[in-house]
Structure 1
């Protein structure tokens, strides 16, 4: 174990260095630096410490280097033990202790900032602070249960801050306490002391109380109930008379007795010094506020000690502030406690002092409520105590709590952390932001002023303490005055809004919320970026309630830099902020951790796709103003007060199906213009003029917010992974993380919590094992006429030995295995849906849990289909999941499961008997060759238990062939480069695209025209087989629900499956309900919608926007290849014309409207067809060929 001296010195350097980096903007993070490697060749171990801090002190020609253990997004980093300095360009470095490093930093500041500084004083305070920390560690190093235990009392938490303020250069600097007195008065040393009492004649007493008794009476009653106070004392001093008793901190009493005016009062017999009396009070984290578990009140004293930056004196106006805070809660402002029952104040409802003109006499005592007396003290902790760094080898208290909860709940630390943080924001952040926006009342809610009551480890009650920390906004003065006459005036708590914004932002967000998030991150509990995203989401939810002229929210959400209190500079210039005008410390501009590039990028994308789809689908009708090649879209809305608000953005109506593409950020205009920040605010305001049911709007907004949250995490994961160029098909399935390029809620995954999203989201490539159950044949069905293949697949999937074990388990339950079938279940579905919704079937042994698969699987893009990573040639498994994603519940309808093998067999037969499809195109069908479902006929659980086995693409790949999901052709790498960029450069765009159309698109069209069968060929349902990027052929999949046919076009009608025999649902259905269509135009809509609009159209956009290939030229190439195919197969021409793929318009599905108007009968809209337009251009021989890239 490290020595206390080492621990203290490291903590001191870490705090100082974090302050220096934040406040000066210095420092760079080095991961790869060849020159540094040579300098440190014999010193640093780059295998164990991948990141180093490099701090160049140019004024001294010195460079500092240090190991980085944890690089924080909230800018409080953890550093290793080793630091070095380099002089000039020397090829060697010298090891540096903490004094050397800090001396270099202070000297650099002195040179840069010039006069008005006191570097020697600062260095002295750093050293004294470090020595105090060392002393505290020596005394408390074995006291780990009180410091970091799952259960602690209020006072144990108050006395646990061994390292103090983690972003202060001198956190334990105490000027005014002699070393030999430290043990008595320091909370870290469990200090406790008797109060010293003065008896004062009421002629010089100034006291006020908002309680039922006067301050004097309260003090005398407390003494009368104190077992350590003698009866003689009580009789003499605690009676009702013309005198008041004033308790004083011992250090202050000693100081007061040396003051001339105090001695005068004593000589005049107006004042009597009594001395120490009564029980021993305990020092809380502020030192000057004392506590006793058996007292209903805490006492806040003045005392002659400078802690961190300031002398700790109760000012006269602060005495009034305590009363004002109490009075405020009896007005409408107190509604905050009703709106947020988990939020409360610890009030300072009384005070007492002696009159000394307009000055403080030093006798100022504040009476503070004590909600933590007796048993109420259990599990109450200040936030600073939760996140305080632990002694090396120990966990922080927060970490111990989260780990304990994770063990108790069988959850991951990440999941528990997220839940804990959300609950905490509900009782702390939300009420304080609401109160500020509603009434202009800001609380100085830093970590030390924030106390949380825990129940079973989770936060249930938040207390704000220190009622001297109120700020009122001048802009709200009239409203506040109506609630409480003269509010803020006698206390001096009224400030201009910009000052209040700045302070509120620092105390609540920087110190408190960022500090808490950092506590989670440094303890390794959850990534800071996840909690920052949660915090940002909550702040955005308040945008509709924003109050002008406050910039609190806007700057937090918009600005890359924010004003932040500079504790180092404040100490460096020796500024006492409490005695300064406006009580102002030094503030500097620092990095805004809420400005996550990943978050902002995702939020902008969701908003862009939302607005594009709302306009495209005709859900809203903006004003359009043509401006050169762009359109200015103007969207009208109403805010919550029914005041007009306008949204503006620039975009284009594209040639490709008339799709809308926005080219600019979306701005909100009301008084001023600013980028839109909140999806919810936008929808609420726009749909006040375009009506939609509130419940549906709320549901849709939830999907969008979840999309932003989950995609931000996915993008963060991708951006922090090493990029690699050569990817197999399976790797692409996990690499293509961007989701649907049109649908705004492309990653909602409603039903997934954070842990679920990480464990089962395809982007994270986490291995999973399937759950196997036995399902009684009373409710089960295997694929139609598929029993033999089903038995074979069980042996392949489970294995003979494991199958025998499963049979034995059924027998052990007293059941007959022959009465059961076996169904694999997704582990998420089992845990979150099956267990609770099929409890009666499990109890009745209709469902028997058997165990988990031996093979491991990994999710594909569709989430519910998993691939076997133990043996990639084994089948894909498509499973029911009650997960809502891209507007669709991912269950498997029993009738479609039963018919799946028959459909695949039929399609396979059609293809094998078509010479072009089988021999020339070599079309691959990934057959769904076996299936099983469990159907109770109950609507609430319909389709929630089923499985389809699909062939693996690896089964069909020849040597040198590889594959990529078709949507990968229009996806991009994390640097924005299209995935196909290297292929286009290598083969030339025109040749490559022509080959792609021939090999991938024409076979799908041929199947429709020749055989009257249309497949839902969107980007995930098509797989391009290629050889080093050269298109070779196409593989198609997912037929059981994504197929339509037109009987008059079938070649061999008798081979078409009779679906009415397979399931009662088909028998009870009618034409157009399932697979068979009564019009050939229905097939046209399937092809144009799935294959062209939302698939090939995306490729057209990429080639146009990234490579200059005009969309007209793209679609001309498509038409040319279709026409070439018709020339080769002239018998298809008439049939092709009947399908009308060249129709001027067609009806496309409205994906966004489906989320807002689910009950509307028609959810399609008419859109222009680019194939028609270019066909007309070709007929007119007036072809626009596009840019010169086509010939590369």
Structure 2
């Protein structure tokens, strides 16, 4: 069942909507069954899924509603004529709590307006909708239902009612599969409070709206909730929110800059209460580690001084107590400011003068985004860590706040305006339609994976309705659809680049803008990759986006993508043919198709340029249908997530699993570390295994498998093994020490360093025990595969005493516009000496 608006009018309603009298009374089955049967069996009521029922079956259904403790039926009239039916219900009787956390102040609502029988009365449906919402929210002593929030779950395909709901103030929370009796429905769960409704377009239709002093439940705002009330555009940029996010970013700057040895805080003694949490170094870790709280100071050119409490864990991981940080100048304490800290440290950080303003702008964007997310969370519009324990894949995806854990400026997005951020930022979780452009076939190249032909690709990439729609638009432009490929394009890119940067190509007819598609998509953490919500199992689509973010303009190279499906097939075949990967539950998500346009003038310049990477797309497999019933998915970045109250999702998952923290970590390492170590040692194959590039499989809140993604651009073969010609470009022959960095830098330093600090701080697993378990995992692998223990060439030592300390922030600080040369990443890296190996010996 769903909120369903059938029509705009009834012929026997003679007056205008504004002047009509609307009333709502309790359902009387004897009186109303015959008429409601007529309404429910009308073809336009098909979303109620009752069109085949006879009157006796409808009567039985209505009697069930009348007698239910969770449901109630209501019949509405306009000027005395019965013309709509309402059901109210207890939301958790239909919507699982892991989809939407509801409470006693919430009420579910379905609405059916009678089918038309003549000329429309303008605005009548809006008037009825408004009266019904007001009825749900109005206090009981005023004749209403006394709800604080109305919940609806229309069929996700029902665009008409979804738009009506938006007009009434409803905000979509998530798409979810819910059961209507024995029938499964894909629904768009949405909510509306009194404040949302009063700010909506339908408020004028209510003659006398009820007043409400609060839109919160009895215990405050509930997680997983979004308010439809549009906040003032700059409301999040307030001093209170900024004090919090500035402190967090300053703490991160001090931690990561000290980790990369760009700054050198000095210990001034043990902090008061040091060791009270039992943090005692037990050997086996880095020699420089000091796992007891110390007070540290950093003086900058005699002008500023920072003081803070911190512990230094293995891998020189600084765990700073954010609340302890103070900043002093001329004997007075002054506010913390991450941008000012960077300016103070410009010489120490070696930031070029011509690039520092760009870096500062990326920091400003990072701070603004953090403030927005903080205010959203404080208002109860973002799920907390406890809620995420059982949340669906895309809810968790949208809940992430931190980005890459090691980078300071990790949410730059230079090019996005405020409205772009609200629409396209992954953490807002909005469902949007992406745009499409037809690209002339002879000036573009479509690469397809093994076993996939063009017709099969189009069947996966577009719905049948979209193919028909775009075909008709191409023909309307006087062109033959057979002469074009269909390319998705980010709407921001279409708005900012297509009609300007490629104006000549459109004028020639080589590019035909086609407008929005029909499927709804959600941006993923990687910003330019989209998840399809309209068709289950449809592939991800990744597009170019000319936004400056984290050291790169986020383009997509047509040249690189010509070989992408072939590279993905080769890697996938290798993984599938090796039982070690299968036993670890390790799989790859293949990029099955890639399309790039090269007919523009930018491809005729002597040297490559960013403009060559603005019109391209690829399609990647979707993991949703590759997991077993009962399993869940999260990106690995979620393991490093703390909510706005500082609660760790990883810790919540461990607590929910019923396992010890040690057992939980072992299971995770079997799915993450072991297969990636095997890829290196047995096959000379390395990936880019950071948090956003792995999708973890959870069984009972425990990691039992993983999907590796982003294969085409970020996989490499580091040895001399034979490769097919169209895979050869991924070869990068390096020394054994450099090979080992794919474990030491990408996994130990990039991921496990942060996770070990979280679990140690939360008191779940001491850091020395964490790294002992990592060492045990490597020992187990070497015992199982003695022939691979030192790699294909026998020169890889994962137990070396030290390894080269590769530094990510140093790369971004050196050139915030292009951190590395994608074609020669190894030569671009920057090092800060060596790092003690926490699993040495």
User: After TM superposition, is the score higher than 0.5?
Assistant: yes
Is 1:750 matched with 2:414? yes
* Correspondences of 1:404-419 after superposition (within 5 Å): none
- Residues 772 and 1107 of structure 1: CA distance in aligned 2, closer, same or farther (over 3 Å): same
Deviation at 1:1015, TM superposition (A): 0.7
- Look up the match of 1:1153: 810
Aligned position for 2:434: 770
Q: Which residue of 1 aligns with 2:557?
A: 893
Maintained 8 Å contact 1:999/1:1034: yes
CA distance in 1, matches of 2:675, 2:348: 47
Q: Which of these residues, 312, 322, 336, is aligned with residue 677 of structure 1?
A: 336
Match of 1:1058 among 694, 716, 726: 726
* Alignment partner of 1:792 is 2:456: yes
The change in CA–CA distance for 1:745 and 1:818 in structure 2 (over 3 A counts) is same
Choose from 728, 747, 767 the match for 1:1091.
747
SS of the residue 2:697 aligns to? strand
Q: Deviations over 1:559-603 (max 9, x none)?
A: xxxxxxxxxxxxxxxxxxxxxxxxxxxxxxxxxxx323xx33222
1:630 shift after superposition:
4.2
The match for 2:585 among 915, 922, 930 is 922
Distance 2:468 2:234 in 1: 47
Q: Distance in 2 between matches of 1:533 and 1:801?
A: 40
Shift of 1:894: 2.1
SS at match of 1:1175: coil
For residues 688 and 1153 of structure 1, the distance between their equivalents in structure 2, rounded to whole angstroms, comes to 13
Number of equivalent positions:
595
Structure 2 CA distance for aligned equivalents of residues 50 and 622 of structure 1: 51
Q: Is the 8 A contact 1:637 1:688 kept in 2?
A: no
1:1131 paired with 2:787, answer yes
Asked if 1:721 is matched to 2:381, the reply is: yes
Kindly state the Cα deviation for residue 849 of structure 1 after the two structures are TM-superposed. Answer: 1.1
1:953 — aligned with what? 623
Check whether the contact 1:790–1:931 (CA below 8 A) recurs between aligned residues.
no
- Note if 1:739 corresponds to 2:384: no
Tell me what 1:603 maps to.
246
Q: What does 1:832-847 align with in structure 2 at a 5 Å threshold?
A: 832-847=496-511
2:681–2:790 CA contact under 8 A, matched in 1:
no
| Residue pairs, 1:793-808, within 5 angstroms | 793-800=457-464, 802-808=466-472
Q: Determine the C-alpha separation between the residues in 1 that align with 2:143 and 2:833.
A: 64
Provide the C-alpha distance between the structure 2 equivalents of 1:978 and 1:847, rounded to a whole number of angstroms: 48
Q: Which protein has greater RCO, CA pairs closer than 8 Å, 6+ apart? A: 2
Corresponding position of 2:84: none
1:1036 Cα deviation after fit: 0.9
Match of 1:941 among 611, 619, 634: 611
Query: CA separation of 1:1133/1:692 partners in 2, compared to 1, >3 Å: closer, same or farther?
Result: closer
User: Aligned in 2, Cα 1:853/1:1154: closer, same or farther, shift over 3 Å?
Assistant: same
1:50-104: CA deviations, max 9, x gaps? 79xxxxxxxxxxxxxxxxx9xxxxxxxxx99xxxxxxxxxxxxxxxxxxxxxxxx
Partner in structure 1 of residue 516 of structure 2: 852
Instruction: Report how far residue 672 of structure 1 moved.
Output: 3.1
Among 698, 708, 725, the alignment partner of 2:367 is 708
**What is the match of residue 831 of structure 2?**
1165
Structure-1 residue corresponding to 2:840: 1175
Q: Please state if 1:1105 is matched with 2:761.
A: yes
Q: How does 1:304-319 map to 2 (within 5 A)?
A: none
Residues of 1 paired with 2:350 and 2:464: CA distance? Answer: 60
Change (3 A) 1:605 1:46: farther
Query: Which residue of structure 2 aligns with residue 977 of structure 1?
Result: 647
Query: Which residue is 2:141 aligned to?
Result: 42
1:64 match: none
The alpha carbon displacement at 1:897 in A equals 1.7
Contact kept, 8 Å, 2:651 with 2:759, in 1: the verdict is no
- The 8 Å contact of residues 396 and 634 in structure 2, kept in 1 or not, is answered as yes
* Residue aligning to 1:1013: 685
Distance 1:998 1:691 in 2: 40
Indicate how the Cα distance of structure 1 residues 1047 and 854 shifts in structure 2: closer, same or farther if over 3 A, else same: same
Residue number in structure 2 paired with 1:4: none
C-alpha change, 1:791 and 1:1089, in structure 2 (3 Å) is farther
Residues 700-736 of structure 1 deviation map (CA, whole Å, 9 limit, x = unaligned): 1111111111121122223322743521222211122
User: What are the superposed Cα offsets for residues 649-697 of structure 1, whole Å, 9 maximum, x if unpaired?
Assistant: 3323321x22233224432222334253322322223336766433322
Alignment of 1:523-538 (within 5 A): 526-528=230-232, 531-534=234-237, 536=238
Structure 2 unpaired stretches of 5+: 1-17, 19-102, 107-138, 151-168, 170-193, 196-202, 206-227, 272-291, 820-826
CA shift for structure 1 position 929:
0.8
Could you list the per-position Cα deviations for residues 195-234 of structure 1 after superposition, in whole angstroms to 9, with x for gaps in the alignment?
A: xxxxxxxxxxxxxxxxxxxxxxxxxxxxxxxxxxxxxxxx
Contact 1:783 1:898 in 2 (8 A): yes
Secondary structure at the counterpart of residue 531 of structure 1: coil
CA shift in 2, pair 1:690/1:1150, >3 Å: closer
Q: Does 1:867 align with 2:531?
A: yes
Deviations 1:524-568, CA, capped at 9 Å, x for gaps = 98524x52444x5xxxxxxxxxxxxxxxxxxxxxxxxxxxxxxxx
Q: In 1, distance between residues paired with 2:703 and 2:338?
A: 40
Q: 2:313 and 2:748 mapped to 1: Cα distance?
A: 14
Contact 1:1145 1:1166 in 2 (8 A): no
CA contact (8 A) 2:294 2:309 kept: yes
The residue correspondences of 1:561-710 to structure 2 (distance < 5 A) are: 594-596=239-241, 599-627=242-270, 629-637=292-300, 644-655=303-314, 657-664=315-322, 665-687=324-346, 692-710=351-369
Aligned-pair CA distance for 1:932: 0.6
Match of 1:74 in 2: none
Kept in 2: contact 1:877–1:948 (CA 8 A) = yes
Does residue 910 (structure 1) correspond to residue 567 (structure 2)? The answer is no
Distance in 1, matches of 2:494 and 2:254, equals 37
Per-residue deviation, residues 988-1019 of structure 1 (Å, max 9, x unmatched): 21222222212332111111111110111111
Cα distance per residue 1:229-256 (max 9 Å; x no partner): xxxxxxxxxxxxxxxxxxxxxxxxxxxx
SS at match of 1:752: coil
Instruction: Please provide the CA RMSD for this pair.
Output: 3.4
1:1081 equivalenced with 2:784 (yes/no)? no
Contact 1:1000 1:1034 in 2 (8 A): yes
Q: Which residue of 2 aligns with 1:760?
A: 424
1:1037 counterpart (698, 709, 732): 709
